[in-house]
Amino acid sequence: EVQLVESGGGSVQPGGSLRLSCPAAGFTFDDYSIGWFRQAPGKEREGISCISGSDGIVQYGDSVRGRFAISYNLADNTVYLQMNSLTPEDTAVYYCSASRFGNPYWGQGTQVTISS
């Protein structure tokens, strides 16, 4: 069974940085697309970034492009999300997702809070 466990969330002041990680188990990474999503209170789930395990193609959402960076380490099957220049608008629960042929799996989420 596919298992995803996000970590690295917490509280940080505006302008700060965090790095989230998502170790993945139960599947071969190169068969899946791995993505980061977030959901803030009262807002729809937003796609942040995704990376294809088959070819490494990366996509970013408009709200984070230039500030966030996704990467992966095949040796430990972990996807990372480096978040820089954080603002209060980045406050949300962040989720890691893996999908293959439209079949998604989700992690439990990690809270990221940006405030003074």
pLDDT of 48 reads 97
Tokens encoding 108:
């439990």
Instruction: For residue 22, give the nearest of 33, 13, 35, 31 by alpha carbon.
Output: 35
What's the burial of 44, exposed, middle or buried (CB within 10 Å: 0-12/13-18/19+)? exposed
Provide the token pair at 25.
């188990």
Q: Do 74 and 29 meet the contact criterion of CB atoms below 8 Å apart?
A: yes
For residue 70, what pLDDT band results from cuts at 50, 70 and 90? very high
pLDDT tens digits for range 25-52: 887 878 899 999 999 999 999 999 999 9
How is residue 114 annotated by DSSP? E
Give the per-residue pLDDT at 103.
87
pLDDT category, 102, cuts 50, 70, 90? confident
**Under 8 Å between Cβ of 59 and 48:** no
Q: Does the pLDDT of residue 59 top 90, yes or no?
A: yes
